[in-house]
Amino acid sequence: MAEFLIETIGLPGWLAWTTVAGVSAFLILNLIAGGALVFIWAERKIAARIQDRLGPTRTGGRFGWLQSLADGIKLLAKEDLMPDGADGLLFRIAPYVSFCASFCAFIALPFAFDVVGLRLNVGVFFVVAVLGLEVFGVILAGYASASKWSLFGAMREAAQVVSYEVPLGMCVVVPVMLAGSMDLVTIGEKQAGWFTNWFIFHDPFTFVIFWVYYTCAVASVNRAPFDLAEAESELVAGFHTEYSGLRWSFFFMAEYGSMFLVSVLAAVLFLGGWNGPVPVASLLGWSDGTAVTAPYAVRLVGCANLMGKATLGVLVMMWIRWTLPRLRIDQVMTTCLKYCTPIAALMFAGVMLWQLFLPGGLLPGSRSQAAAVREAWLEGEADGAPVPEASVGFVPAAGRQVVGVSR
């Protein structure tokens, strides 16, 4: 896109790159904001269907699809009040800290084989690191609202998120090990082809690890049955008791943002990301670039696949929320320390041994990964190939190329 801007419009180099960066940032931000709006509406509808009622029907047309807009306007109109005992600065900053934390993880998430904000070589590691930052917003909110209840909610949430990062980290390492690299795009590429190549079906261990990952993801995002932070039955509304109006909606947006983030991560790591169950692109012969529209069609299909899987993940989270009661804080901790972590460790060891004895996957046709990576490095075939030009994204300023290996 940058060349197009430079040659045709004649923008100076740096301006072209800025607009490219601006466009991609705008796209990601609105994807999540739009996603949050859709998920708010979906949550209302799903909750209604589970509870044998209709949910919003009349706001804005047939299925009440304008309901989230109505919510948004209501939240904007609401007064942003602040309790007098509160610590001004921290109270205002908290929602934006947790909002930015859950949004800036989206830079590294690939939506098609090269439609990625910034192709980080340490994609997975970066996302997990940033996921841990969201707890700061909650702690600050809990402390700054100067009320006992929000302090309780903040402490519970902090303890829960920090302790669930351990099993989450372990589950995330398994696909990295299978793909041989932390780069999310490579992980996605390794799962191309039929759905048998997906890492979830790679071997029984990865199958279990996927479910452990999903549980830990639900817990680290604070959705029921682990939603201790805003356990309305005990702590009124947990850490965001004192918030209202726009600030409260930022917390809400952060929650839906990180829910979507965790589902996209699950899709990329275990469910083959943009590769659909049936390799449509290669079957129709698009991927070798014959048809003019091929590159865009392939990316579109890829995006659709990933969105479908991620939305499925989010919908299952909503489904769980409206059926299961809430766990107590010590039960949440025991599931983390006594169940998730040991199982994750065991499965991790299992996958390692599996790699040793059966480099190939369980099902025929999946290529062996780990061994390949090692030889590739030895013969010097760079794993981190120079960033293909077509990548839409913020490339560091002109004149600097991220070069894989300078041999």
CB of 232 to other proteins, least distance (A): 6
- Please measure the distance between the N-terminal and C-terminal CA atoms of the chain and give it in whole angstroms: 29
> Given the complex with other proteins, which of 228 and 340 has the nearer CB atom?
228
**Least distance from other proteins to the Cβ atom of residue 383, Å:** 5
> Applying CB under 8 A, what is the total number of residues that bind other proteins?
83
Q: What's the rounded Cα separation, in Å, for the pair 198 and 191?
A: 5
What is the per-residue DSSP string for 327-351? Answer: PPHHHHHHIIIIIIHHHHHHHHHHH
Which two three-digit tokens encode residue 262? 């965790």
Per CB under 8 A, which of residues 157..216 are in contact with other proteins?
A: 158, 162, 165, 180-182
The stretch near other proteins (CB under 8 A) out of 22-30, 59-67, 70-78, 379-387 is 379-387
State the nearest-atom distance from the C-beta of 378 to other proteins, in Å.
7
Residues 364/365/371/373 CA torsion (nearest 10 deg)? -150
Does position 8 interact with other proteins (CB under 8 A)? The reply is yes
Q: Which of residues 104-163 bind other proteins (CB under 8 A)?
A: 120-122, 125-126, 128-130, 132-133, 135-136, 139-140, 143-144, 148-149, 151-152, 154-155, 158, 162
The single-letter code of the amino acid at 92 is R
Nearest distance, CB of residue 296 and other proteins, angstroms: 23
The one among 51, 54, 300, 389 contacting other proteins by CB under 8 A: 51
User: What CA–CA distance (Å, rounded) separates 23 from 25?
Assistant: 5
Binders of other proteins in range 214-253 (CB under 8 A) = 224-225, 227-228, 231-236
161 close to 134: Cβ distance less than 8 angstroms: yes
Region of 66-74, 187-195, 250-258, 377-385 interacting with other proteins (CB under 8 A)? 377-385
Q: Which residues pair with 317 in a beta bridge?
A: none
Site for other proteins in 384-403 (CB under 8 A): 384, 396-397, 399-400, 402-403
What is the Cα 119 distance to its own chain's centre? 15
Is residue 23 a contact residue for other proteins (CB under 8 A)?
no
Summary count for the chain: helices (H), strands (E): 15, 0
The residues in 260-319 that bind other proteins, with binding defined as CB under 8 A, are none
* Minimum gap (Å) between residue 108 Cβ and other proteins: 9
Which of 134, 79, 151, 155 minimizes the C-alpha distance to 251?
134
State which of positions 313-342 bind other proteins (CB under 8 A): 322-331
b (16+ CB within 10 A) / e for 7-18 = eeeebeeeebbb
* Residue whose structure tokens are 């949050």: 36
Rounded CA gap, 341 and 343, in Å? 6
User: Shortest distance, CB of residue 266 to other proteins, whole angstroms?
Assistant: 20
Using the minimum distance from each CB to other proteins, give the nearer residue, 175 or 225: 225
